[in-house]
Amino acid sequence: MTQTTAFFHTFDPADVTVHLRPATPRLVGVAEKEALLRQGVSYGTLLTPETRPSAVQMAAYHAALTRNGPRVAELIASLTGHLLQTVPQPVLVSLARAGTPVGCAMTRFSRRRGQKLSHHTLSIIRGGGIDREALRRVQHAHPGGTLVFVDGWTGKGSIWGTLVDSLPGDVPPLLAVLSDPAGVASFAGTHDDLLLPHAALNATISGLLSRTFVDAEANGGGLHGVRTEDHLRPDDVTGEYLAALDAFDTGIDLPMNPGLRPTRPYDAVLALAAGLGVQDPHLVKPGVGEATRVFLRRQPAGLLLRDAGHPDTRHLSELARAADIPVTVHPELPYLAAALISPRAGEDV
């Protein structure tokens, strides 16, 4: 197999083989994107250019790294150790973007323990499925391996459903995540809703890679596309983040203990959203990671919190206040947070 060149990202090639194609996407603003989505245009064909991380984002990242970094390192250790012990010839296949730093951290962890763990990253797009050409290349490179798909967190389980629906029959849908509040992953570090530090940022903690997208070449059988957000290079903390997680590694490997698996927590969120006037499940994004993504990439209409004072959601409260987005507190919420997208977002475009 020919390894994909690494010039277009800032990940260390020793940590990951990137199966993405540098390409030029259809660039649209957030409001225009919302309008096009209402018209039925696929989310996977549109991209909004990224701006420099705001002060709120950077503060959220640094605070989460300080507060949650040691626990994240423990979750990486327990999850990686469990896979190495229980899965025959595991091969990590992270789902770009949020899964890629996790897969890199797991690979670096295994290397410090003197064990080899191969790591590839590829694209999966809600509604469009996994990149079959990239998957074929990974399978060709590891004919006897067991592919374990890696992501950062789950929200309502959409990526899990896309994985199940789009994988070929000879590839089991094994999903490993650090935080699984949806209760759908095959392997979970924890079922707690937890702010992973890299959820607060986008390209600047993911090798300067944009969200992945499909274009004519991808639809013709080529790799999914990606854009390098090169204008953000001065803000790139990809290497800093992975080095920080390395430093939090105590060398003590704890058994994986995710806690009680939740049962259909999303149903309760949908009921709360319906009470606030949002009926479309596509407009309800539960989990602190997904809620953060809404405030960074979509047009939020509301924010639901379980605890107004929780440190993992402080940045969401600040972003909501700055955008004049209503915030409601629901102690029964099974996630730390959920964001609502306006059913009318983009209609003025």
In this structure, what are the phi and psi dihedrals at residue 47, rounded to the nearest 5 degrees?
Answer: -145, 135
- What is the distance in angstroms between the CA of the first residue and the CA of the last residue of the chain? 46
Position 183 pLDDT exceeds 60: yes
Q: Is the pLDDT of residue 141 over 50?
A: yes
Close Cβ partners of 283 (under 8 Å, ≥ 6 residues apart): 273, 301, 340, 341, 342, 343
Query: pLDDT averaged over the chain?
Result: 92
User: Quick one: which of 200, 204, 213 has its CA closest to 296?
Assistant: 200
Share of the chain above pLDDT 90, in %: 82
**Dihedral sign (CA 239, 242, 248, 251):** negative
For residues 119 and 9, what is the distance between their CA atoms, to the nearest angstrom?
15
pLDDT digits (tens, 9 = 90+) for 254-301: 999 999 999 999 999 999 999 999 999 989 999 999 999 999 988 899
Using one digit for the tens of pLDDT, what is the confidence trace for 203-214? 999 999 999 998
Q: What is the pLDDT of residue 239?
A: 98
d(CA 48, CA 29): 6
Say what the pLDDT of residue 46 is. 74
The pLDDT tens digits for 48-93 are: 889 999 999 999 999 999 999 999 999 999 999 999 999 999 999 9
Q: Which pLDDT belongs to residue 349?
A: 25
Q: Once rounded to an integer, what is the mean pLDDT over residues 243-251?
A: 97
Residue in 154, 145, 87, 144 with CA at minimum distance from that of residue 119 = 145
Instruction: Average the pLDDT over 144-151 and give the result.
Output: 97
Cα distance between residue 173 and residue 207, in whole Å: 26
Answer whether 0.85 is exceeded by the pTM.
yes
Question: Per the omega criterion (within 30 degrees of 0), is the bond before 108 cis?
Answer: no
On the question of pLDDT at 318 being above 50, the answer is: yes
Assess whether pLDDT exceeds 70 at residue 43: no
Q: Which residue in the block uniquely carries the two structure tokens 């490179």?
A: 141
Residue 215: the pLDDT is 83
Q: Which amino acid is at 77?
A: A
* Beta-bridge partner residues of 21: 225
Q: Give dist(CA 162, CA 204) in Å, integer.
A: 26
pLDDT number for residue 4: 44
Read off the tokens for 10. Answer: 């800032």
Quote the CA–CA distance of 94 and 103 in Å, as a whole number: 6
CA 290, distance to chain mean position in Å, is 8
Name the one residue in this structure whose structure tokens are 């972003």: 319
Rounded percentage of the chain residues whose pLDDT exceeds 70: 94
347 confidence band (pLDDT: 50, 70, 90): very low
